[in-house]
Amino acid sequence: LISKLAYSGVAESEVSEILSLGHCRSVRALQEISSPGAEIVPYTVLIEGIACRYTIVGDGRRALIGFILPGDFTTAALTGLTPLDFGILSLTTGKIIEMPCAELETRASNNLHLSQALAWSAMVEGSIARAWLANSHRPADKRLAHLLCELRQRFALVGMGGEHSFDLPLTQQNLGDALGLSTVHVNRMFQYLKGLGLVQVHGHKIVIGNLSRLEHFAEFDPAYLHLNPHKTAQIGSRDRHRQHVEPLQVRAMLSAPSRRVPSRP
Amino acid sequence: LISKLAYSGVAESEVSEILSLGHCRSVRALQEISSPGAEIVPYTVLIEGIACRYTIVGDGRRALIGFILPGDFTTAALTGLTPLDFGILSLTTGKIIEMPCAELETRASNNLHLSQALAWSAMVEGSIARAWLANSHRPADKRLAHLLCELRQRFALVGMGGEHSFDLPLTQQNLGDALGLSTVHVNRMFQYLKGLGLVQVHGHKIVIGNLSRLEHFAEFDPAYLHLNPHKTAQIGSRDRHRQHVEPLQVRAMLSAPSRRVPSRP
DNA sequence: CGCCCTTTTGATTATGGTCAAACGTTGTGG
DNA sequence: CCACAACGTTTGACCATAATCAAAAGGGCG
């Protein structure tokens, strides 16, 4: 299963090499991957499933402060800032690869592409956090719509879904914890969005009739995900062909930043 | 005014040297320092005053997604991720130093301390963003209290205020835009916190009778600001002596990360 | 089949938003 | 020096969005 990799560009051979540094393990749903306050956090890539960053708020409510999708680092280049100020939890069953900090860091210092990838990953993560902050200032309906747009885009980036649909194995409670809404209200907002004809929900499959209409409604501007143009273009075509893409699209993580050079002209 | 610098540790001479790379200019209140979508964003340090990162949400509401205090970079090491996905706006009159990207970057590649400082700065910024996300899941009273705790701590870090009071030249509208609350409700929450004896407000001066009580109420854990222990200790003593510290405490930014080494043992 | 988890719905409450007006402060100009 | 304008704070009345409580209805899996 791990061997079914699809890469693009120069990163192809590097990725498998780098991933072989760590060891892969399965996680069940609701398993703590890293705990808040941890002093040593290995570089961890999520290969399959969905995880989240969270902090506990108030009485014991779990506030999700970010989703981790296949191909994402659980902590980006955040390591170095310990103790960890949040926890990492799997939301579904999945697979992760853990790499010791020291090994990846020595390798990064010799490998420009890798260090760029790590930096880029951290920056996109920060950018997403800012977008979520802005989103928290929106009313519930747009908030949910915006999150759906983001997840669709990020899933599409790693080949898991296209423009019109994607699979979202999260409960409405998970979404509520991420949006700062009650489960009940998330449900009502789903009804509302369905009523507007913006989304359809079939089990865990989210279907979007008219993407640009949904994105306009949500005030979603994909710029904050900092996909580069040719990358974005690929997403569309990938969708049209409906090709099977296996899990483990570390490609997106390691190839997207390859266009960016360390210093500007 | 710029020459009145107070540094600590090894960074002292470096800081003035690096700052001399750029040129200082004054900004008035509500002046756009960098605009959303900008392709080239110089490294900019705020020297005096308060600024914010913002995005426009909904009809035209300004959502503040971060405060920039004296000694902070307006964009941390975020540059590199253009176009900028937010705007930067001064909230009071102030002073900034702008440094061309190219110069600072070439210098950073030769200077370990500097590149560490930039990375550290970006990481703390990300950490603050996550704390704000968690904060957006709290009720309004705790949300305001938490923000006050953070601002107090960050001001204290650069010598602008101590444990029991600090100057906050922001309007309640500004705070509301940051917290996602209406101006009216911010005011009500101030009344409420006053009523609980947690804060007093005298003009722009915030007075905190019992800091640990306020921090407990706000669920504020300063760990997310990633101050190192000796640094945190200094804040208290600085307060007790009530010594005059001039603006321009770039010290905090460049000295705090100096304890952190690039790779762990 | 039956249990558990999730989704859905309704009724009620509460937190926070909006509107409007009064009050204080500061700064400016006659 | 006072009047006025502009801005920020404060207060009250009312409204709206979303939370809570409770219960029913699906849906997957042993």
- Rounded CA-CA distance A193/A189 in Å is 6
DSSP A44: E
| A263 vs B contacts (CB less than 8 Å) | 101-102, 105-106
| A33 vs A245: CA distance, rounded Å | 26
Mutation to test the B interface, candidates A43, A137, A186, most B Cβ within 10 Å? A137
Q: For residue B131, how many other CB atoms are within 10 A of its CB?
A: 23
Residue A124's pLDDT band (cuts 50, 70, 90): confident
B242: left (phi over 0), alpha (psi -120 to 50) or beta: left
Confidence bin at A115 (pLDDT 50/70/90) = confident
Please give the Cα distance from A38 to B90 (Å, whole number): 37
Q: Which residues contact B241 (CB under 8 A, 6 or more apart)?
A: none
B222 contacts in A (CB within 8 Å)?
none
> Would an 8 Å CB–CB cutoff place A105 in contact with chain B?
yes
Three-state SS annotation for chain B: CCCCCCCCCCHHHHHHHHHCCCEEEEECCCCEEECCCCCCCCEEEEEECCEEEEEEECCCEEEEEEEECCCCECCHHHCCCCCCCCEEEECCCEEEEEECHHHHHHHHHHCHHHHHHHHHHHHHHHHHHHHHHHHCCCCHHHHHHHHHHHHHHHHHHCCCCCCCEEECCCCHHHHHHHHCCCHHHHHHHHHHHHHCCCCEEECCEEECCCHHHHHHHHCCCHHHHCCCHHHHHHHHHHHHHCCCCCCCCHHHHHHHHHHCCCCCC
Q: Which residues have C-beta within 8 Å of that of residue A195, sequence separation ≥ 6?
A: none
Could you give the CA distance from residue B8 to residue B79 in angstroms, rounded to a whole number? 27
Chain A stretch 135-154, residues whose beta carbon is closer than 8 A to a beta carbon of chain B: 136-139, 142
**Contact call for B80 and A129, based on CB within 8 A:** no
Question: Chain B closest CA to A18's CA: distance in Å?
Answer: 18
In terms of CA atoms, which chain A residue is nearest residue B260? Answer: A80
Angle, in degrees to the nearest 10, between helices B140-157 and B183-195: 80
- Chain-chain contact of B126 with A122 (C-beta, under 8 angstroms): yes
Torsion of CA B193, B209, B137, A184, to 10 degrees: -40
Query: Å from B6 (CA) to C2 (C1')?
Result: 73
Torsion of CA B178, B183, B186, B191, to 10 degrees: 160
From B102, B224, B262, residue closest to A263, measured CB to CB: B102
**pLDDT tens per residue across all 265 residues of chain B:** 232 233 233 356 677 777 778 889 999 999 999 999 888 888 898 999 999 999 999 989 999 999 999 988 898 766 667 789 999 999 999 999 998 888 888 887 777 777 777 788 888 899 999 999 999 999 999 999 999 999 999 999 888 999 999 999 999 999 999 999 999 999 999 999 999 999 999 999 999 999 999 999 999 999 998 876 333 222 223 333 333 333 333 434 433 443 333 333 3
Q: Running DSSP on this structure, what letter comes out for residue A54?
A: E
Chain B residues touching A126 at Cβ < 8 A:
78, 122, 125-126, 129
Closest residue in chain A to residue B79, using alpha carbons only: A123
B200 CA vs C3 C1’ separation (Å): 55
Name the amino acid, one letter, at B40.
Answer: I
Quickly give B169 CA vs C25 C1' distance in Å.
15
Across the interface, of B53, B126, B262, the residue whose CB is closest to A125 is: B126
pLDDT category at A77 given cuts 50, 70, 90 is low
Q: Residue A75: pLDDT above 80?
A: yes
Name residue, tokens 């952190």: B260
pLDDT at A128 over 70: yes
**Which residues make Cβ contacts (< 8 Å) with residue A109, sequence separation at least 6?**
A115, B262
Asked if residue A242 lies in contact with residue A167, where contact means CB atoms within 8 angstroms, the answer is no
Question: Are B106 and A263 a contacting pair at CB < 8 A?
Answer: yes
Q: Which of B78, B83, B138 sits opposite A123 (nearest CB)?
A: B78
Predicted confidence at residue A12, as pLDDT, reads 60
Count each helix (H run) and each strand (E run) in chain A, helices first: 9, 10
The distance between the two most distant Cα atoms of chain A, rounded to a whole number of Å, is 54
Chain B residue numbers with beta carbons less than 8 Å from the beta carbon of A127 are 81, 85
Strand partners, A26: A95
Report the pLDDT value the prediction gives residue B226, as an integer from 0 to 100.
81
Residue with tokens 């409405």: A172
Q: Is A112's pLDDT higher than 90?
A: no
Q: Is the pLDDT of residue A227 over 50?
A: yes
Q: In this complex, is the C-beta atom of A131 within 8 Å of any C-beta atom belonging to chain B? A: yes
Span of A1-15, A61-75, A84-98, B74-88 with lowest mean pLDDT = A1-15
How much is the pLDDT for A99?
Answer: 87
Minimal CA separation from A105 to chain B, in Å: 7
pLDDT of residue B233: 27
For residues B189 and B183, give the distance between their C-alpha atoms in angstroms, rounded to a whole number.
10
Any A CB within 8 A of B125 CB: yes
Q: What is the structure's pLDDT at B64?
A: 98
Instruction: Using a 7 Å cut-off to protein CB atoms, list the covered nucleotides of chain C.
Output: 5-11, 15-20, 26
Nearest DNA or RNA nucleotide to A142 (CA to C1'): D17
Residue B190 in contact with residue B172, Cβ under 8 Å? yes
| Measured CA distances, B139 to A232, A250, B189, B218 (Å) | 38, 38, 10, 10
Kindly calculate the radius of gyration of chain A based on its CA atoms and give it in whole angstroms.
18
Q: Does A81 lie at the interface with B, CB-CB under 8 angstroms? A: yes
What's the whole-number average pLDDT of chain A? Answer: 80
Instruction: Output the pTM of the full model.
Output: 0.86
Contact in structure between A42 and A98 (CB atoms under 8 Å): yes
Show the tokens assigned to B33: 């320092």
Report CB contact under 8 Å: B101, A224: no
H or E stretch covering A240: helix A229-241
pLDDT at A80: 65
SS3 (DSSP) at A63: strand
- Report the pLDDT value the prediction gives residue A244, as an integer from 0 to 100: 33
pLDDT at A27 over 90: yes
Output the distance from A188 CA to C19 C1' rounded to whole Å.
28
Nearest to A219 among B53, B57, B133 (CB): B57
Bridge-based pairing of strands B43-48 and B94-99 is antiparallel
Tens digit of pLDDT for each residue in A169-215? Answer: 999 999 999 999 999 999 999 999 999 999 999 999 999 999 999 99
Q: What is the pLDDT of residue B10?
A: 39
**What phi-psi label fits residue B72: left (phi over 0), alpha (psi between -120 and 50 degrees) or beta?**
beta
How many Å from the CA of B25 to C1' of D14? Answer: 48
**Residue-level pLDDT at B121:** 82
Segments in A21-74 forming alpha helices (H): none
User: Residues A94-101: what's their mean pLDDT?
Assistant: 89
Residue with tokens 């997840």, as numbered in its chain? A151
Closest alpha carbon within chain A to B217 = A58
